[in-house]
A and B are shown apart, each in its own frame.
Chain A
Amino acid sequence: MTLLAVTGLDKRFGAHQVLAGLNLDVPAGSLTAILGPSGSGKTTLLRILAGFEHADSGTVRIGSAIADGPGVFLPPERRRIGYVPQEGSLFPHLTVAANVAFGLSGRKWGRDRRSKRCADLLEAVGLGGLARRYPHQISGGQQQRVALARALAIAPEVVLLDEPFASLDANLRASVRADVQQLLKQSGTTTVLVTHDQDEALSTADRVAVLRDGRIAQCAAPQELYSRPVDADMARFIGEANLVPGILNGSSVQTLLGLLAVTGTDPAQDGAGAGASRNGSDGPGHRPAMVLIRPEQVELVPGTPGTPGAAGAAEPGLAGGGDSGGLTGRITGYGYHGHDAVVTVQPERDPQGPPLTVRTLGGQALAPGSLVTLRARGPVIAWPQHAD
C-alpha cells in the first residue's frame, strides 16, 4: 500500500527550477532513501512533504488525504509527519524529556501518560538516563536520537529524516544509523531519508529513489538499483562502472572482453521510466550498444594467455562464455583496500580508450606496468544506442 504519493511536483525558486514534475510513491512501512548530489532539491522535496514549503503545482498525498494540491494545503501541524532536521534542532530551553514530550501537549494526554510515553521513547532510543539534561549537555549523536524520539512521540504517519547523520563523525555515524534503522523497522514507521551519501542510502534503505534533474530518475531496491540501472549515467552514479561499447545480438553482446550474456530488463520494474532504453526487445539483428560491466564482474589473472605456465591459461570453466583466451592489458593503477583491491588496466588492444576497473580479492600484489589477462563474467546490462 502506498502511504505517501507525490505526483507531478514542480517547485521553482526564482529562475531556478528545483523540482520538475517529480513523481514518487512511498509504500507503507518502508524506509525510502532520496539520494542525490547536494543542490539536487532533496531538502526542498522534504520540506514540501513536511508542509514548510508550498509546491508550485502537483499533488502530495499522505494516506487518504491530500496534503498539498490545487486549492488545498494542509499546514504542517496537521500532517502528522515526524521531522528530524539535519542539526536535530532540539529546543534549547527545554530538557530532553520536555523536548520529547513537546508534541504530546493538550488535554488528550494526561500528565501520567505523557511522562510514561516520554520515558518509554527515551528508553527505546537508549537514552533513559538523560531525561533531565538540556540539549547542550549531551553529545551530537545523543541529540539526534532525542530528535528522533521527539518525532516518533506523536506516532507520525511518516518520519522524514534530513541528512540526519551528516553532522556526526564517521564512527558514531555507523552505530547511530544502525540503531535508528532498527528502531524504525521495529516500529514499522514509514520513513523517508534524504541523503547525498550513496553508501548510507544503499545500506540503510529498502528502496532508493535517485533524484536527478528535478525528478526521480529511478526508484528501486538497492540491489536492483546496482544491478539494473536505467541508464549509463545511473550506472556511473551508483558504484563504479566500466562502460564499454558492444554489438548487441539477441540475448548476447560482443565486447572487447568477448561475447557476454545480457540480462533482460523487465520493463515493469523500470522506476520512473525516465527515458530508459529497453534492451533485448524488438531490435532486429546487430545493433550498437553501451554495455555495463561492474568491476567485480571482471576476473584478472597475471600474465598473458599465450605465456606457457600462465595461471590463466589453465583456469577451468571460463564464465560468461568468453570466446577467446581473454583480454590482455597493462596495469596502470593499483589501490589496495585490505579486503579487496581495485586495479585499473589499460587494454593492449585499445591503448587510447578508457582504462578498465577491476576489483580483485586482495591477495596478490600486482606491480603497475605488468601484463595481465582479463575475463568478464556475464550476464551484463546493455543499452542499445540510437544511431545519430
Chain B
Amino acid sequence: MTSSPVLDRRGPGPGQPGEDGPGFVAAKKARRARRPRALTAAAMLIAAVLALPLVFLLVEASGSGGGADARLIFRPLTGELLWNTVRLTVVVTALCAVIGTAAAWCLERTNVPGRKIWAVLVVVPLAIPDFVVSFGWASLWSWIHGFRGAVIVMTLAVYPLVYLPVTASLRGADPGQEEVARSLGSGRVRTFVRITLGQARGAILGGCLLVAMVMLAEYGAFEIVGYQTFTTEIFTEINVAFSLPAACALALVLVLLSLIVLGAEGKLRGRGRVSRSGALAQRVTARHRLRRSRIPVLAGLTALTGLSLGVPVGSAIYWMAAGGRDSLTGVSMPMAALTTALYGLLSAGLATLMALPVALLAVRHPGRARRFLERSTYLVLAMPGVVIALALSYFTERYLGGFGYQTAPLLILAYAIMFFPLALVGVKASLARAPVSLDEVARSLGQPRLKVLLRVTLRLTGPGLVAAFCLVFLSVITELTATLILIPTGVQTLASQFWVYETNLSYGQAAPFALVMIAVAAIPSWVLGRFFDRGAAYPRMMT
C-alpha cells in the first residue's frame, strides 16, 4: 500500500459531527429504541381488514342462531360434499406432488436435452386458468366428467405449484450434503430419498398446501366437468338459489376444512427444518448423466407438456377455427380486456401495498406480538374466494342496504384480500434480500433514512416487489369465482365473458377469450420464472 493524500484526515467532508445543529434529535421518550409505531398501526389496520370476511361469517352464524345453521350443516348433502371434496383434494395433491417433484428433479439435476425450453414449458400451464383447462378437455371429450374428469383436469392445471418451489429448493440446496451421504456409503437411490427429498421436503409440502387450497377453492373447472364440491354448492346457493344463510353455513365448513389443511402443513413442516450451515460460496451440484433413461424422461416431459399445455391451447384454437367468423363477432373483447387489466393493476397494487407494512414488521422488527400480527393475516388463506365474496356481499346487503354491492371498489378489495398472502410471501422474500446491516452501513456513511430506502433497500427489493405484484396480477385476471359474484352489473371481465359464452355452449365465441387469457397471463408468469431463476443466483452474490 502506498501513502496517499486521500488519507489525510483533514480531507474533504463535513465538519465535526453534530456541529450543525439539526443533527441533535431529542428522543421523546428518554432512552428507548425507536419503536415502529406507524408501521405497527398500519399493519394492525391491514390485519383488521383481512379479518373482516371471517368476522362477517361468524356474525352471521351467531345471528342466525345455532339451530338454523346446524340444520343447514347436518344434512346428507353436506356429507356428500365433504366426501367429494376430500377425496378429490387428496388424490390431486398426491399426483401433483409426484409429478411436480419428478419434473423438478429431472430438469434441475439431470442433463436431459433441452432443459431450458422444458423448464419454461413445464411452468406455463400455471398461467392457464383452471377453468380454461377444464373447458379445453371437457369440450372435446364427453368422458372428461365427474371425479375422473376433475382429477385429470386439476392435476394438469396445478402441478406447477409443486414444481416451482421444489425447483428453487433443489437449486439452492447444499450439494455437499449429497456428496457426504455418498461418501458415507449411501447409494444413489438412498441418497435421493434421504438427502435430496429431505432438502426439498419443505418445498414439496409448501407446494402441496397450495394445491390443496386451490382444490378447496376451485369453482369453474368443477362446474364444467359437473363435479360437486363445497365451493360449487356455495356458489349455487348464492347465485342461483339466492340463499345467503345456507351459503354461509356451508362456508363455515369449508373454512374449517381449509384450517385443517393449513394446520396439517404447519405441523408436518415444523418437524424438520432445512438448514444450511456456513455462508460459503455456493457450488453447483453435478448433474446426473442420463443414458438409457433419457428416452423415458423425454417421453414423460413431452406427455406432460402435451397434455397440460397442448390440449387446452389446441382445443381453444380448434373451437375458434370451428366457429369461423362467428368467433370474433363479439364486440366485447377489447372492453373486457381493458376492464380486466384495470382491475388486475389496481388490486395487485393494493395487495402489494398492504403486504409491505406487515412484511417490514415481520422481517425487520421481530417480536412475539408482531409475529402474531403477521401470522393472523394467514387466516385469509383459509378463506376461498367464494367465501370472501360471500362475506362481502352479506356485509353490504345486511349493513349497507346493498350499497357498494357489485361495485368495482368492492371487487378490487375482494381481490386484494384474496391474494394478500401471495403478495406477502413475495414481499417478505424480497425484503430478506436487503439485510439490516446494509442499511446500517449506508446510514453510517452519512445517508439519511429516506435516501437509504431509495438507494439500498428498494434497489435490492425492487425485483421481488415486482414479482409479488405480477403474482397477484396474474391471479386476478384469471379469477372467476369471486368475479361472478361481485362483478358490477353490465361489466364483463375476460373470465366472466368467457363464462357467459361457455355456459351458453358458444364454444366458438368462448375460445378467443380463453386464448387471450392464456396469452396475457403468460407474461407475468415469464417474469416470475425469471425471478425464481435469479432467486437462486442471489445467495451467491450475497456472500
Identify the A interface with B (CB < 8 A).
50-57, 62-67, 70-83, 85, 87, 89, 91-93, 102-103, 105, 108-109, 113, 117, 120-121, 123-126, 134-136, 147, 150-155, 157, 179, 182-183, 186-189
A103 to B443 CA separation, bound complex (whole angstroms): 9
In the complex, are the beta carbons of B437 and A65 less than 8 A apart? Answer: no
Q: Which residues of A contact B456 (CB under 8 A)?
A: 91
A50 to B443 CA separation, bound complex (whole angstroms): 10
Q: Given A54-B32, A152-B7 in contact, is the A124-B2 Cβ separation under 8 Å?
A: yes
The answer, yes or no, to whether B257 is at the interface (CB within 8 Å) is no
The answer, yes or no, to whether B275 is at the interface (CB within 8 Å) is no
Give 9 CB contacts A-B under 8 Å. A54-B33, A75-B443, A76-B444, A77-B444, A77-B448, A79-B444, A92-B460, A124-B6, A186-B1
In the complex, are the beta carbons of A103 and B447 less than 8 A apart? Answer: yes
Q: Which residues of A contact B447 (CB under 8 A)?
A: 77, 102-103, 105
Binary interface profile of B, 417-454, with partner A (CB < 8 Å = 1, else 0)?
00000000000000000010110111111111101000
Q: Given A53-B33, A62-B17, A183-B1 in contact, is the A76-B9 Cβ separation under 8 Å?
A: no
In the complex, are the beta carbons of A189 and B23 less than 8 A apart? Answer: no
A125 to B13 CA separation, bound complex (whole angstroms): 20
14 additional A-B pairs beyond A75-B449, A120-B6, A188-B7, beta carbons within 8 Å, are: A52-B440, A55-B31, A72-B25, A83-B441, A87-B437, A89-B437, A91-B441, A92-B460, A93-B459, A93-B460, A108-B14, A135-B541, A155-B9, A155-B13
The answer, yes or no, to whether B12 is at the interface (CB within 8 Å) is yes
Tell me the smallest distance from the CB of B10 to a CB of chain A, in Å: 8
The answer, yes or no, to whether B329 is at the interface (CB within 8 Å) is no
Question: Nearest CB to that of B27 among chain A residues?
Answer: A73
Question: Nearest CB to that of A89 among chain B residues?
Answer: B437
A85 to B437 CA separation, bound complex (whole angstroms): 8
A162 to B14 CA separation, bound complex (whole angstroms): 24
Binary interface profile of B, 1-39, with partner A (CB < 8 Å = 1, else 0)?
111111111011110111100011111001111100000
Q: Which residues of B contact A85 (CB under 8 A)?
A: 437, 440-441
In-complex Cβ contact of A70 among B13, B30, B32, B449 (8 A): B30
In the complex, are the beta carbons of A65 and B17 less than 8 A apart? Answer: yes
Q: Which residues of B contact A54 (CB under 8 A)?
A: 27, 31-34
A81 to B16 CA separation, bound complex (whole angstroms): 11
Tell me the smallest distance from the CB of A259 to a CB of chain B, in Å: 51
Q: Which residues of A contact B14 (CB under 8 A)?
A: 80, 108
A52 to B446 CA separation, bound complex (whole angstroms): 13
In the complex, are the beta carbons of B30 and A71 less than 8 A apart? Answer: yes
Tell me the smallest distance from the CB of B460 to a CB of chain A, in Å: 6
In the complex, are the beta carbons of B17 and A78 less than 8 A apart? Answer: yes
Question: Nearest CB to that of B459 among chain A residues?
Answer: A93
Q: Given A74-B17, A124-B7, A155-B12 in contact, is the A57-B435 Cβ separation under 8 Å?
A: no
Q: Which residues of B contact A157 (CB under 8 A)?
A: 16-17
Tell me the smallest distance from the CB of A28 to a CB of chain B, in Å: 9
A72 to B31 CA separation, bound complex (whole angstroms): 9
The answer, yes or no, to whether B375 is at the interface (CB within 8 Å) is no
The answer, yes or no, to whether B519 is at the interface (CB within 8 Å) is no
Q: Which residues of B contact A82 (CB under 8 A)?
A: 444-445
In the complex, are the beta carbons of B13 and A80 less than 8 A apart? Answer: yes
Q: Given A74-B24, A83-B440, A136-B543 in contact, is the A65-B460 Cβ separation under 8 Å?
A: no
In the complex, are the beta carbons of A150 and B31 less than 8 A apart? Answer: no
Q: Given A56-B31, A67-B18, A123-B4 in contact, is the A73-B25 Cβ separation under 8 Å?
A: yes
In-complex Cβ contact of B13 among A71, A154, A188 (8 A): A154
In the complex, are the beta carbons of A89 and B18 less than 8 A apart? Answer: no
In the complex, are the beta carbons of A123 and B442 less than 8 A apart? Answer: no
Q: Given A76-B443, A154-B13 in contact, is the A71-B26 Cβ separation under 8 Å?
A: yes
Tell me the number of A-to-B contacts counted with CB atoms below 8 Å. Answer: 166
In the complex, are the beta carbons of B19 and A102 less than 8 A apart? Answer: no
Q: Which residues of B contact A79 (CB under 8 A)?
A: 17-18, 444
In-complex Cβ contact of A63 among B16, B443, B542 (8 A): B16
Tell me the smallest distance from the CB of A346 to a CB of chain B, in Å: 42
A187 to B10 CA separation, bound complex (whole angstroms): 10
In the complex, are the beta carbons of A72 and B6 less than 8 A apart? Answer: no
A102 to B442 CA separation, bound complex (whole angstroms): 8
Q: Which residues of A contact B543 (CB under 8 A)?
A: 136
Q: Which residues of A contact B542 (CB under 8 A)?
A: 92, 136
The answer, yes or no, to whether B540 is at the interface (CB within 8 Å) is yes
A152 to B1 CA separation, bound complex (whole angstroms): 15
Question: Nearest CB to that of A119 among chain B residues?
Answer: B6
Q: Which residues of A contact B7 (CB under 8 A)?
A: 124, 152, 183, 186-189
Q: Given A62-B17, A103-B446 in contact, is the A91-B438 Cβ separation under 8 Å?
A: yes
Question: Nearest CB to that of A188 among chain B residues?
Answer: B9
Tell me the smallest distance from the CB of A59 to a CB of chain B, in Å: 11
Tell me the smallest distance from the CB of B54 to a CB of chain A, in Å: 34
Cβ-closest 9 pairs across A and B: A103-B445, A65-B18, A187-B7, A120-B6, A155-B13, A83-B444, A78-B23, A136-B541, A76-B443
Tell me the smallest distance from the CB of A152 to a CB of chain B, in Å: 7
Q: Which residues of B contact A152 (CB under 8 A)?
A: 7
In the complex, are the beta carbons of B13 and A74 less than 8 A apart? Answer: no
In-complex Cβ contact of B541 among A80, A102, A134, A183 (8 A): A134
Which one of B31, B34, B449, B460 has the highest number of Cβ atoms from chain A below 10 Å of its Cβ?
A: B31
A87 to B17 CA separation, bound complex (whole angstroms): 26
A217 to B6 CA separation, bound complex (whole angstroms): 37
Question: Nearest CB to that of A178 among chain B residues?
Answer: B1
Tell me the smallest distance from the CB of A72 to a CB of chain B, in Å: 6
In the complex, are the beta carbons of A89 and B435 less than 8 A apart? Answer: yes
Q: Which residues of B contact A83 (CB under 8 A)?
A: 440-441, 444
Tell me the smallest distance from the CB of A70 to a CB of chain B, in Å: 7
Q: Given A50-B440, A89-B437, A186-B7 in contact, is the A72-B16 Cβ separation under 8 Å?
A: no
In the complex, are the beta carbons of A72 and B26 less than 8 A apart? Answer: yes
A385 to B32 CA separation, bound complex (whole angstroms): 43
Which one of A51, A124, A125, A179 has the highest number of Cβ atoms from chain B below 10 Å of its Cβ?
A: A124
A152 to B8 CA separation, bound complex (whole angstroms): 10
In-complex Cβ contact of A102 among B12, B34, B445 (8 A): B445
Tell me the smallest distance from the CB of A73 to a CB of chain B, in Å: 5
Question: Nearest CB to that of B463 among chain A residues?
Answer: A93
Which B336-381 residues sit within 8 Å CB-CB of chain A?
none
Tell me the smallest distance from the CB of A50 to a CB of chain B, in Å: 6
Tell me the smallest distance from the CB of B14 to a CB of chain A, in Å: 7
Q: Which residues of A contact B12 (CB under 8 A)?
A: 109, 113, 117, 155
In the complex, are the beta carbons of B24 and A120 less than 8 A apart? Answer: no
Q: Which residues of A contact B1 (CB under 8 A)?
A: 124-126, 179, 182-183, 186
Question: Nearest CB to that of B20 among chain A residues?
Answer: A78
In the complex, are the beta carbons of A89 and B441 less than 8 A apart? Answer: yes
Binary interface profile of B, 26-64, with partner A (CB < 8 Å = 1, else 0)?
110011111000000000000000000000000000000
Which one of B1, B442, B448 has the highest number of Cβ atoms from chain A below 10 Å of its Cβ?
A: B1
Q: Which residues of A contact B448 (CB under 8 A)?
A: 75, 77
A102 to B438 CA separation, bound complex (whole angstroms): 12
Q: Which residues of B contact A103 (CB under 8 A)?
A: 445-447
A62 to B43 CA separation, bound complex (whole angstroms): 37
A92 to B444 CA separation, bound complex (whole angstroms): 17
In-complex Cβ contact of A72 among B2, B27, B440 (8 A): B27
A102 to B540 CA separation, bound complex (whole angstroms): 22
A54 to B34 CA separation, bound complex (whole angstroms): 9
Tell me the smallest distance from the CB of B276 to a CB of chain A, in Å: 16
Q: Which residues of B contact A120 (CB under 8 A)?
A: 4-6
In the complex, are the beta carbons of B2 and A123 less than 8 A apart? Answer: yes
Question: Nearest CB to that of B3 among chain A residues?
Answer: A186
A91 to B541 CA separation, bound complex (whole angstroms): 10
In the complex, are the beta carbons of B26 and A76 less than 8 A apart? Answer: no
In the complex, are the beta carbons of B24 and A72 less than 8 A apart? Answer: yes
Tell me the smallest distance from the CB of B61 to a CB of chain A, in Å: 42
Which B450-469 residues sit within 8 Å CB-CB of chain A?
451, 455-456, 459-460
